[in-house]
Structure 1
Amino acid sequence: MEEVDTNTSKEDRLCHFSEDYKQIYLSLTYSIIFMLGLPLNGTVLWHSWRQTKHWSCATIYLVNLMVADLLYVLTLPFLIITYSLGDKWPFGELFCRLVRFLFYTNLYGSILLLTCISVHRFLGVCHPLRSLPYRTRRHALLGTAATWALVVLQLLPTLVFSHTDLVDGQVVCYDTSSPKNFNQFFVYSMVLTLSGFVFPSLVILVCYSLMVRSLTKSEESLTRVGSTARAKSIRTILLVCGLFTLCFVPFHIMRSFYLMLRFLPSRNCQLLMVASLAYKLWRPLVSLSCCLNPVLYFLSGGNNRVRLFQELRHNKMGEHPAGAKGDRPRGGQIWVLSR
């Protein structure tokens, strides 16, 4: 995430490496993510709201994922303006803490919700009958509520560590913490990485390993799971693994390595510069999950994509259910009333 690194540690000041690239690189990448993430997540939420049927367990998890993405995407204009101004923060203390908090809420909320989706899919594939009492909308709602509660509890310290400060004559917004609190922040960050990333990743890895073993038994899995559910499970495995490989794993590796170098008493300016550059170059890419998560929604159900394209086509052409043939006018009225 965004950090005023040239001002936050003695190591950085003594090494004297430039970070002018952030003004262009971060402004540009966050602008692209905002332009893609806002319509994609907004469209998914709009489509989910218009569904006539009750949401399935998977839809409940995915809609919460879209909400987390949308909350973060709405903070990106603040970051784009800040980096365009050269790390100057003009929005005050409250928005500084809120923007940092929402970034990590999206990050670790996404990871935990993807874990819930993976466990739900694992139960459906490996234990389809025994898990029926647990794969209900009630349990899905409880799971999402527990996820949000756990994420908020984990991230409350970020509201303390993140704050504004006057550095070299301009107001900055710390992403990690001020230099005097960095040691405490480092310990907190390592604990958060273990609880918010490493442990959920292990759960997902175990679930998918068992799913792959079950799905490779072609005849047995086709009979027990069904070809449609099997294809859906394979798509979920590939997309979630791709998300973790592209977004979450590199970010946490780079971030942990960079923070560790800053924490150690010995200073290697060249290594610190490389670690800082790698971390900051990868930082915006973790936000790509905001653009990729909607793809998971479309692939989670066979009719989601078709239904959405049909609705967009009707709206674009000015067609409404009332103008269709046959029984479409009555169906359109039921669609609105049942929403």
Structure 2
Amino acid sequence: MEMQDTNASEETGLCLLSEDYKQIYLPLTYSIIFVLGLPLNGAVLWLSWRQTKRWSCATIYLVNLMVADLLYVLTLPFLIVTYSLGDWWPFGELLCRLVRFLFYTNLYGSILLLTCISVHRFLGVCHPLRSLPYRTRRHALRGAAATWALVVLQLLPTLGFSHTDYIHGQMVCYDMTGQENFDQFFAYSMVLTLSGFVLPSLVILVCYSLMVRSLAKPAETLVGAGTTIRAKSIRTILLVCSLFALCFVPFHVSRSFYITLRFLMSQDCRLLTVASAAYKVWRPLVSMSCCLNPVLYFLSVGKNGVRLFRKLRHDKVGEHPAGGERGRARGGQIWAVSR
């Protein structure tokens, strides 16, 4: 939940903002994300676990991305209940801090992991031979571990800023912080936006610009970049750019604009109302990345995902009494040939 606008307005002498729409809009959008995100991310993790070959570098990054999504999706029922009850938080202080922390962990963890995937794809397309020593599973594991460590370190302050409080006798859970700490939160938020969003976005932009220039060359001039690699690279560029355009960019622009107005103590009630509504509309939509990230996995694995589904389906038939040992053998044979 965002900083309570009713309470903040009374303390600072600003506008009294109506947020009745949140009781319908937020539970609805969070419910849709939960219904879609839980099975999609769960399916990706299950398929990755069941695949027989060793995980590639891209799969390592994508599995970590699904883990971040799943951790956040599992917190959505708490938010659905809270907003359905009119911002009343009945789950206590610890869960309040944890839910807020996991939201930002998912957000900035997703951005950094997408950056790792983009850099990995850039090296494979633009420097396929020179980058071979760096495009290994060991480096991918180290990159994923470093990403988690960096994200946790960046977001530790959110555990202190977010907390519960009583407003008009009702317990609420601050997403930002109380009015007394808002100046410190504003400075921290700007630094986090720069380090967690702007800089990774610039890295992705540079990587994709160089990739597009390289992929635009005739196929015969690209060393080691066959049709499959070109197709995967193009799909990755399109999907990641869509994720940023639909989820990350609007959220950070609206959020930065909103908290800047709050920091400057703007007296323009109409502008403040629009900024507040824009931020609260885009806040759940940034979580749509939890539903779109699994698509990146299936685009990355390509036909291997279909083959794995086919293998698992035949395994299920083989385990059925009517299938017997013949069904299991046939499923295994198909997988051996298809792989």
TM-score by length of 2: 0.93
**Aligned-partner SS, 2:171:** strand
Q: CA deviation at 1:327?
A: 4.3
Q: What is the distance in 1 between the residues matched to 2:29 and 2:112?
A: 25
Cα gap change, 1:93 to 1:81, in 2 (>3 Å): same
Q: What one-letter code is carried by the residue in structure 2 that aligns with 1:49?
A: W
Answer yes or no: is 1:173 the counterpart of 2:173. yes
Q: Which runs of 5+ in 2 are unaligned?
A: none
Q: What is the distance in 2 between the residues matched to 1:326 and 1:49?
A: 19
RMSD, matched Cα: 2.3
- 2:145 maps to which residue? 145
Contact 1:7–1:13 under 8 Å retained in 2: no
Q: What is the distance in 1 between the residues matched to 2:78 and 2:13?
A: 26
Q: CA deviation at 1:5?
A: 2.9
Q: What is the distance in 2 between the residues matched to 1:258 and 1:220?
A: 50
Contact 2:3–2:178 under 8 Å retained in 1: no
Contact 2:9–2:15 under 8 Å retained in 1: no
Mapping for residues 144-293 of structure 1, pairs under 5 Å:
144-293=144-293
Q: What is the distance in 2 between the residues matched to 1:315 and 1:333?
A: 10
Q: CA deviation at 1:15?
A: 1.1
Contact 2:311–2:334 under 8 Å retained in 1: no
Cα gap change, 1:214 to 1:6, in 2 (>3 Å): same
Q: What is the distance in 1 between the residues matched to 2:143 and 2:290?
A: 21
Q: What is the distance in 2 between the residues matched to 1:2 and 1:96?
A: 12
Identity over aligned residues, as a percent? 78
Deviates more, 1:95-104 or 1:258-267: 258-267
Q: CA deviation at 1:4?
A: 3.0
Q: What is the distance in 2 between the residues matched to 1:123 and 1:79?
A: 40
Cα gap change, 1:227 to 1:18, in 2 (>3 Å): same
Cα gap change, 1:312 to 1:12, in 2 (>3 Å): farther
Q: What is the distance in 1 between the residues matched to 2:328 and 2:20?
A: 63
Mapping for residues 29-68 of structure 1, pairs under 5 Å:
29-68=29-68
What number of residue pairs does the alignment pair up?
334
Q: CA deviation at 1:13?
A: 6.4
Q: CA deviation at 1:301?
A: 1.8
Cα gap change, 1:221 to 1:32, in 2 (>3 Å): farther
Contact 1:4–1:87 under 8 Å retained in 2: no
Contact 1:164–1:174 under 8 Å retained in 2: yes
Answer yes or no: is 1:124 the counterpart of 2:124. yes
Q: CA deviation at 1:308?
A: 4.3
**Aligned-partner SS, 1:17:** coil
Cα gap change, 1:226 to 1:191, in 2 (>3 Å): same
Answer yes or no: is 1:109 the counterpart of 2:106. no
Contact 1:247–1:286 under 8 Å retained in 2: yes
Q: CA deviation at 1:267?
A: 1.4
Q: CA deviation at 1:265?
A: 3.2
Cα gap change, 1:218 to 1:266, in 2 (>3 Å): same
**Aligned-partner SS, 2:172:** strand
State the Cα deviation string for residues 294-322 of structure 1 (Å, max 9, x = none). Answer: 00000002234313432564477676696
- 1:15 maps to which residue? 15
Contact 1:247–1:289 under 8 Å retained in 2: yes
Q: What is the distance in 2 between the residues matched to 1:326 and 1:187?
A: 60
- 1:337 maps to which residue? none
**Aligned-partner SS, 2:88:** coil
Contact 1:82–1:88 under 8 Å retained in 2: yes
**Aligned-partner SS, 1:296:** helix
Contact 1:9–1:262 under 8 Å retained in 2: no
Q: What is the distance in 1 between the residues matched to 2:11 and 2:103?
A: 26
Cα gap change, 1:11 to 1:298, in 2 (>3 Å): farther
